[in-house]
Amino acid sequence: MSYITEVFEYLNRTSPHQTEFYQAAEEVLESLKPLIDKYPKYAKHKIIERIVEPERQIMFRVNWVDDQGEIHVNKGYRIEFNSALGPYKGGLRFHPSVNAGVIKFLGFEQIFKNALTGLAIGGGKGGSDFNPKGKSDTEIMRFCQAFMSELFRHIGATTDVPAGDIGVGGREIGYLFGMYKKLANSYEGVLTGKSLLWGGSLARTEATGYGAVYFAKYMLEDRNETLEGKRCVVSGSGNVAIYTIEKLYHLGALPITCSDSNGMILDEDGIDLALLKELKEVKRARLSEYLQSRPNAKYIPVSEYPQGKNAVWSVPCFAAFPSATQNELNLEDAKTLLANGCICVSEGANMPSTADAVHEFVKSKICYGPGKAANAGGVATSQLEMAQNASMQSWNFEKVDAKLADIMKHIYISASTTAAEFGEPTNLVLGANIAGFRKVADAMIEQGLV
C-alpha cells in the first residue's frame, strides 16, 4: 500500500462520516503522489500525516432567543487547521447543512488556497448550522452575539481572523465585530469583510467574484481566447455570483443565468445586475421575483430540473462559473457542458464539482480553474484588509483591485508552471495542489515539530 493510500485509510478510520472532507483530502493527496515520490523529505517529516490533522478544532454550543421568546440551540465550529504561513484565516458559514465534516473540508482547502496567494495567512474555517433564512434582523443580531460570546476567546488579529462565507455577509460581520470589541475590550482587525465605515477594505465585497473572472481571463489568454462577447453561465445569486456577473460585464461577456436553492433564472438578454443586487442585497428576496421586472426571462424551479442534473449547466455556454455551493455540478453536468461547447470553468464556490466531474474536466484539457485557485481572490483581499488595518491606512478601489488582479495572475502562473513541471501543463488541479502544499510543507519542516 502506498504512503498516501495508508494516510487516506487512516483518515477514513479515525474521522468517520466526513464525506466532504474525504473528497477534498483525496483530491489533494492524489495530486501529491509525484511530489512525494520525488522528494522523500515530506515522508520523513510525516508532513502528510500532520497536514491532514487540524492543529485545533473548537466546537461549542450557541444558545439564542427568537423574537417570540423561544430558546434555540445551535452548534458552533471553528477549525484552526494550519498556521505554518500566518494566522489562521478563513470564513464563517451559517447554513443548516453545516457539520463538522463540512467545516473540516473547507478548512483543509483553505490551507492550500491561502498558500497559493503568496500572502502570510494560515488556514482556518468556521460556522454554524444556524439557518439565517427568514430570520428578523434582531434575531440575526442575537445569534451573532451568542456565537461570538464563545468564539472571541479563540481569535485575534495575529492568531485567527475569520471572514464571511455562505450566510455571513456585511451585516453579520458587523454584529460579530461589535460583540468581539465589547468582550475583548479591543478594537482590532479581528474580522475581515468589515464595513467601510470602520476598517473594511474597498473591493473586498467584489473580490471573490472578480477574482474568479480574472482567473478565467488568464487561463483563456494562454490559449489566445477572451471572454468578450461570450455567453457565460453562473450559478448562485449571493456575494460570489453577483460580482462574478459584474466583472463578466466589465470584460464584455454576456452572463445569462443565476440561481438560488429554489431555482434558476435564464435571461438570454443578459442578467439584469441592478435588479439582481436589489433583490438579493437589499430585499433579501427569492430569485423567482426576478420575473416580475423581467417577464421575458425564464424561471426554472428545482422541481423541473432534469433528473439528476443542475439545469444551470444544461444551458449552452462558452464559460461556466459555479458560484453557489459544494457538489453542485456532477459528472452528467460536466459532460453536458463539454458537449455544448463550454471551454472554460472557473470555480467561485468551494469544491462545486464532484470528484468525477473534476476528472472529466481535467481529462478534456479545457481551461479548468479549481476553486482553491480560482476563488482565492476573496481571502487574498481579506489579507489586504488586514494589511490596511495594521498600517492604519485605507487604499482606494483601483489600488486594491489592481493588487487583486496581480495576485490572481500570480496564482495562475504558479499553478500552471507547477503543472508543467510535473508533466501535465493543462492540469491546474495538480498544479494548484502541489504549489500550495509545497509552500506549507517546507514552512512546517523549517519550523520544526510543533
DSSP 42-57: HHHTTHHHHHTS-SEE
CB of 97 to ligand NDP, least distance (A): 6
Site for ligand NDP in 311-370 (CB under 6 A): 323-325, 348-350
The smaller minimum CB distance to ligand NDP, of residues 36 and 113, is found at 113
d(CA 385, CA 369): 25
* Helical (H) or strand (E) element with 74: strand 71-82
- Taken as a whole, the chain contains a residue count of 450
CA 239 to chain centroid, in Å, comes to 11
Longest CA–CA span in the chain (Å) reads 63
Number of residues that bind ligand NDP (CB under 6 A): 23
Residue 51 sits in the site that holds ligand NDP (CB under 6 A): no
CB of 325 to ligand NDP, least distance (A): 4
Site for ligand NDP in 136-175 (CB under 6 A): 164-167, 169
Residue 125 falls in the annotated catalytic set: yes
The smaller minimum CB distance to ligand NDP, of residues 117 and 350, is found at 350
CB of 430 to ligand NDP, least distance (A): 21
d(CA 164, CA 168): 5
Kindly report the backbone phi and psi dihedral angles of residue 26, in degrees, each rounded to the nearest multiple of 5, phi listed first.
-60, -45
d(CA 12, CA 28): 15
d(CA 331, CA 351): 13
CB of 11 to ligand NDP, least distance (A): 22
Q: Which stretch binds ligand NDP (CB under 6 A): 145-153, 234-242, 293-301, 353-361?
A: 234-242
The smaller minimum CB distance to ligand NDP, of residues 237 and 354, is found at 237
CB of 328 to ligand NDP, least distance (A): 6
Q: Which of 89, 125, 217, 372 is catalytic?
A: 125
The smaller minimum CB distance to ligand NDP, of residues 260 and 332, is found at 260
- Alpha helix locations (H) across 54-166? 100-116, 137-151
Position closest to ligand NDP via CB: 238
Q: What is the CA radius of gyration of the chain?
A: 21
State the pairing for strand pair 254-255/231-234.
parallel
Residue with cell 500500500: 1
Residue 115 sits in the site that holds ligand NDP (CB under 6 A): no
* Helical (H) or strand (E) element with 367: strand 367-369
Residue 117 sits in the site that holds ligand NDP (CB under 6 A): no
Site for ligand NDP in 202-231 (CB under 6 A): 208
Cell numbers of 222, please?
A: 494562454
Residue 99 sits in the site that holds ligand NDP (CB under 6 A): no
Among 99, 131, 159, 261, binds ligand NDP (CB under 6 A): 261
CB of 437 to ligand NDP, least distance (A): 19
CA 50 to chain centroid, in Å, comes to 23
d(CA 297, CA 267): 4
Nearest C-alpha neighbor of 54 from the set 24, 94, 75: 24
Among 20, 80, 206, 260, binds ligand NDP (CB under 6 A): 260
Q: Which stretch binds ligand NDP (CB under 6 A): 17-25, 30-38, 259-267, 432-440?
A: 259-267
CA 172 to chain centroid, in Å, comes to 18
The smaller minimum CB distance to ligand NDP, of residues 14 and 262, is found at 262
Q: Active-site residues: which are they?
A: 125
> Which residues would be at the binding site for ligand NDP (CB under 6 A)?
164-167, 169, 208, 236-241, 260-262, 323-325, 348-350, 375, 378
